[in-house]
Homo-oligomer: A and B are copies of this chain.
Amino acid sequence: MRSVEQIAELLRKKGLKLTPQRRLIIDILLHDRTHPTVEEVYKKVLETMPEVSRTTVYNTIREMLNLGEVAEVQDLSDGGIRYDTTGEPHHHFFCVRCRALVDVDLALPPVAESSSELADCVILKQQLTLYGLCPACSELQRQEEKMEQKEEAVSSR
């Protein structure tokens, strides 16, 4: 699913209403690839409709969760729960320094069968998360390490 119109259709089928607030929030969710928290969505909403309440953002995101159009992302002990707005299954790279969470498009072979422990389990989804440093942060890290070495050299004189 993609467009606001398509979601609107789903809402109608459930007897739910399409208010201007919802339209905006759904639009923002559908076009956001940054896995925003509720707070982040809320701030974007305010840019266009300054009167919308946090409650409405929470409500709408909950509806989207129920519709299955948005998914919770594994919390990385940050501000709050992040949401993933892509319907397509995909994997994640998380930068442990700047805390960015980006989608990674790689094919993961269904690896589950190789484990005997999982023999009787029903596997619905497999989600890979890579932890590391994004290009910008790995550069910064390298610079910091150089600085530290210099400091040590000075203090040991």
Contacts and interface: CB of A to CB of B under 8 A. Distances in A.
Contacts of A157: none
Given A75-B74, A81-B77, A138 B120 contact: yes
B123 A132 contact: yes
Interface string A94-134: 01100000101111100110110110111111111111111
A144 interface: no
A126 B130 CA distance: 4
Contacts of A102: 117
B121 A131 contact: no
B106 A121 contact: no
A95 B122 CA distance: 9
Contact of A122 (B120, B128, B133): B133
B131 A125 contact: yes
A64 to B, nearest CB: 14
A75 B55 CA distance: 23
Contacts of A123: 130-132
Nearest to A119: B135
A138 B122 contact: yes
A152 to B, nearest CB: 19
A139 to B, nearest CB: 9
Interface of A: 72, 74-77, 81, 93, 95-96, 102, 104-108, 111-112, 114-115, 117-118, 120-135, 138
Closest 5 CB pairs of A and B: A75-B75, A74-B74, A120-B135, A122-B133, A123-B132
